[in-house]
């Protein structure tokens, strides 16, 4: 049975490789070998531009060979090591255990349980303290490592917070240099931590707690290690334009070349982590984007343009025209509704885009001021009118429930606003005879590290479920509008993984042991998860992630927190011209 399983998995890997364009295969001889792991299924990982960008960065080096691995599609069979080899990589079908480095690229906290599944399937000890000299170095990067790596600190030898373009090459060079001296595993980790301020080795630090469970201090556990901050900056001032390295039909964006137009967002929404940890917001030069598009169009006629705010990109209409004039088509990520205009909409229509994703977030203007959305009802309605005149675009409207200071009136105003939106779509489409669909995606608020909302708790699951039930019934009465919700209990789990400290690692272990029966895990845990999820944090409390430095002053976040409580908006980023948050002051 094991041999049959192994043959089937090898056959699947080879079939996937045959369906790809752009995969890189190298001889491993004499090179540092990296198993780059995305902790979700192949089709999800290969839709992630950050994962593909790291794969490309590693394989540009002649002294590195990087191969990919993913969460097994069938957990039950994959947990039985195939012919004694365990989980293997896609390119060469080599077991994870033979690589020098196993590097996880982690974008979402809800993928944390999959990390343990992959380590077990790869025959790697789950806990850092249980690994011997023959085990690869297990490391992680990605945005979750920028924000709060502590809930998974027990399972990793090191983290590399920060943008890969800024620190990955130096890390590889340091690793090669240290390994070349014959250093053992422990010495390698210690020397990497000392050599680079952006390397975090959790085992070199211990955390002490107060009687109430809050953190008292973080201390170095060996004499040569500095207890100072891990520097997630400097950020890449002018990174190369990231694009898909590999094309395949088996992704969320089949045979689409994804191209990054810019990084970060200057609108300063108080709940959004990407708007803070990627500061300052940076846009790629138009000429660099156009050159990247020209190369991409030789590989595929469909381009996916990615940015936190696509319509903020300088020369965006020229970029749209450049693609269509060369016979290509494009699609865009979420659009800021107050920037929608007829010129952009006609270009989207000409490219064949049928729907627009718009993040409104809150139904009331009051609550949008709390979250610093910089968006009025008038702006929303004007954009809807323009959109409906241009075409029968379907609208996917994103809302969040459970936001700080939210009242029942705020929730009811979601329904009121949607009714007005529908009314104007019908009215403006009357001469055409067709109307786009309206779909609502309603998510639960999840507090995130390094945002002004990091001190707020998540609302209780019971309360969120009640709001979801009421909204569903109210929207269905309206007719012609569909609504979907995330699962409140999974929002609870994500908050636990986002806001917890390293004690949450024991809960993750229990969840793994009970095969994702989290109710059982919570019952058997000595740690109460509500402590991390439902408890407001004090402004002077030591937070689990305070040791990471993004260049953002904590006092600035506190000021934004207080403005939120007062329902007062603050200015959007004025890059290089202000010193409010501290990032531009550092020249980052």
> Tens of pLDDT along 393-445?
999 999 999 999 999 999 999 999 999 999 999 999 887 778 889 999 999 99
pLDDT at 186 over 50: yes
Which whole number is the average pLDDT over 173-178?
98
Which segment of 80-89, 266-275, 317-326, 402-411 scores lowest on mean pLDDT?
80-89
> Based on the domain organization, do 406 and 294 belong to the same domain?
yes
Cα separation, 44 vs 318, whole angstroms: 31
Chain CA centroid to CA 239, Å? 18
Report yes or no on 504 lying in a domain: no
pLDDT at 1: 46
> Based on the domain organization, do 259 and 217 belong to the same domain?
no
Report yes or no on 105 lying in a domain: yes
pLDDT at 435: 85
pLDDT at 208: 96
Report yes or no on 129 lying in a domain: yes
> Based on the domain organization, do 129 and 267 belong to the same domain?
no
Sequence-distant (6+) residues with CB within 8 A of 518 are: 489, 493, 511
Structure tokens at 46: 């290969």
> Based on the domain organization, do 467 and 403 belong to the same domain?
yes
> Based on the domain organization, do 251 and 325 belong to the same domain?
yes
Report yes or no on 445 lying in a domain: yes
Of 197, 231, 265, the domain-final residue? 231
Residue 185 Cα distances to 131, 158, 170, 194, 206, angstroms: 9, 12, 19, 14, 19
pLDDT at 547 over 90: yes
Residue found under tokens 């627009």: 356
pLDDT at 233 over 70: no
Residue pair 575/588 in contact by the 8 Å Cβ criterion: no
| Number of Cβ atoms within 10 Å of the Cβ of 84 | 10
Which whole number is the average pLDDT over 46-70?
97
Residue pair 200/230 in contact by the 8 Å Cβ criterion: yes
Sequence-distant (6+) residues with CB within 8 A of 44 are: 38, 252
- Of 487, 442, 401, 454, the C-alpha closest to 271 is 454
Which whole number is the average pLDDT over 199-210?
96
Environment class of residue 113 by beta-carbon count within 10 Å: exposed (0-12), middle (13-18) or buried (19+)? Answer: buried
Structure tokens at 219: 């201390």
List the CATH number of the domain containing 350.
3.80.30.20
pLDDT at 520: 98
| Beta strands in 541-580, from DSSP E residues, in sequence order | 548-549
Cα separation, 111 vs 41, whole angstroms: 10
> 78-126 pLDDT, tens per residue?
444 444 668 999 999 999 999 999 999 999 999 999 999 999 999 999 9
> 509-528 pLDDT, tens per residue?
999 999 999 999 999 999 99
pLDDT band at 11 (very low <50, low <70, confident <90, very high): confident
> 379-391 pLDDT, tens per residue?
999 999 999 999 9
pLDDT at 228 over 80: no
pLDDT at 558 over 90: yes
What is the percentage of the chain residues whose pLDDT exceeds 70?
A: 94
The number of folded domains in the chain is: 2
Of 231, 258, 277, the domain-final residue? 231
Which segment of 30-34, 347-351, 434-438 scores lowest on mean pLDDT?
434-438
> Based on the domain organization, do 49 and 190 belong to the same domain?
yes
Q: Can you give the residue range of the structural domain that contains 282?
A: 247-499+551-586
> Based on the domain organization, do 409 and 480 belong to the same domain?
yes
> Based on the domain organization, do 87 and 148 belong to the same domain?
yes
**141, β-bridge pairs:** 105
Average pLDDT, the chain: 92
Report yes or no on 430 lying in a domain: yes
pLDDT at 84: 60
């Amino acid at each position: 049975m094991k041999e049959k399983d192994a043959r089937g998995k090898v056959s699947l890997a080879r079939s996937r490789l045959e369906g790809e364009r752009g995969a890189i295969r190298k001889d491993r001889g004499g090179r540092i070998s990296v198993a780059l792991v995305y902790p979700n299924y192949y089709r999800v990982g290969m839709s992630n531009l950050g994962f593909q960008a790291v794969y490309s960065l590693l394989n540009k080096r002649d002294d590195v060979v990087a191969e990919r691995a993913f969460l097994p599609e069938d957990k039950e069979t994959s947990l039985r090591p195939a012919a004694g080899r365990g989980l293997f990589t896609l390119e060469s079908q080599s077991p994870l255990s033979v690589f020098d480095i196993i590097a996880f690229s982690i974008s979402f906290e809800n993928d944390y349980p999959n990390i343990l599944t992959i380590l077990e399937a790869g025959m790697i000890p789950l806990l850092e303290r249980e690994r011997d000299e023959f085990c690869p170095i297990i490391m992680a990067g990605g945005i979750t490592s920028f924000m709060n790596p502590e809930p998974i600190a027990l399972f990793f030898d090191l983290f590399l917070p920060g943008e890969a373009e800024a620190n990955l090459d130096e890390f590889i060079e340091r690793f090669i240099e240290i390994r070349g001296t014959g250093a053992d595993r422990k010495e390698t980790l210690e020397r990497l931590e000392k050599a680079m301020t952006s390397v975090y080795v959790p085992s070199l630090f211990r955390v002490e707690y107060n009687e109430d469970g809050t953190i008292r201090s973080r201390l170095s556990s060996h004499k040569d290690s500095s207890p100072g901050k891990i520097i997630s900056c400097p950020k890449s001032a002018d990174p190369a334009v990231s694009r898909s390295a590999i094309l395949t039909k088996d992704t969320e964006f089949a045979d689409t070349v994804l191209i990054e137009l810019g990084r970060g967002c200057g609108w300063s929404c108080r709940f959004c982590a990407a708007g803070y940890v990627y500061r300052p917001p940076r846009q790629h030069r138009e000429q660099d984007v156009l050159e990247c598009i020209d190369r991409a169009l030789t590989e595929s006629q469909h381009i996916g343009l990615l940015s936190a705010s696509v319509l903020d990109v300088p020369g965006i209409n020229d970029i749209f025209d450049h693609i269509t004039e060369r016979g290509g088509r494009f699609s865009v990520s979420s659009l800021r509704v107050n920037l929608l205009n007829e010129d952009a909409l006609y270009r989207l229509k000409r490219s064949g885009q049928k729907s627009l994703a718009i993040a409104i977030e809150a139904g009331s203007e009051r609550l949008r001021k709390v979250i610093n959305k910089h968006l009025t009802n008038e702006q929303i309605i004007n954009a809807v009118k323009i959109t409906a005149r241009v075409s029968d675009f379907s609208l996917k409207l994103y809302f969040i429930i459970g936001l700080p200071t939210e009242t029942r009136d705020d929730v009811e105003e979601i329904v009121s606003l949607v009714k007005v939106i529908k009314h104007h779509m019908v009215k403006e489409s009357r001469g055409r005879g067709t109307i786009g669909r309206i779909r609502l995606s309603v998510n639960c608020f999840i507090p995130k590290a390094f945002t002004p909302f990091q001190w707020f708790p998540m609302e209780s699951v019971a309360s969120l479920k009640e709001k979801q039930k009421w909204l569903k019934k109210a929207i269905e009465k309206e007719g012609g509008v569909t609504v979907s919700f995330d699962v409140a209990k999974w929002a609870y789990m994500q908050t636990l993984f986002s806001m917890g400290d390293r004690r949450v690692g024991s809960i993750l272990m229990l969840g793994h042991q009970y095969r994702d029966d989290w109710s059982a895990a919570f019952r058997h845990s000595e740690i109460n998860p509500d402590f991390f999820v439902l408890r407001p944090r004090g402004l002077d409390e030591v937070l689990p992630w305070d040791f990471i430095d993004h260049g953002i002053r904590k006092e600035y976040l506190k000021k934004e927190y207080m403005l939120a409580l007062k329902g007062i908006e603050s200015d959007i980023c004025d890059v290089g011209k202000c010193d409010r948050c501290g990032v531009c002051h550092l020249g980052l």
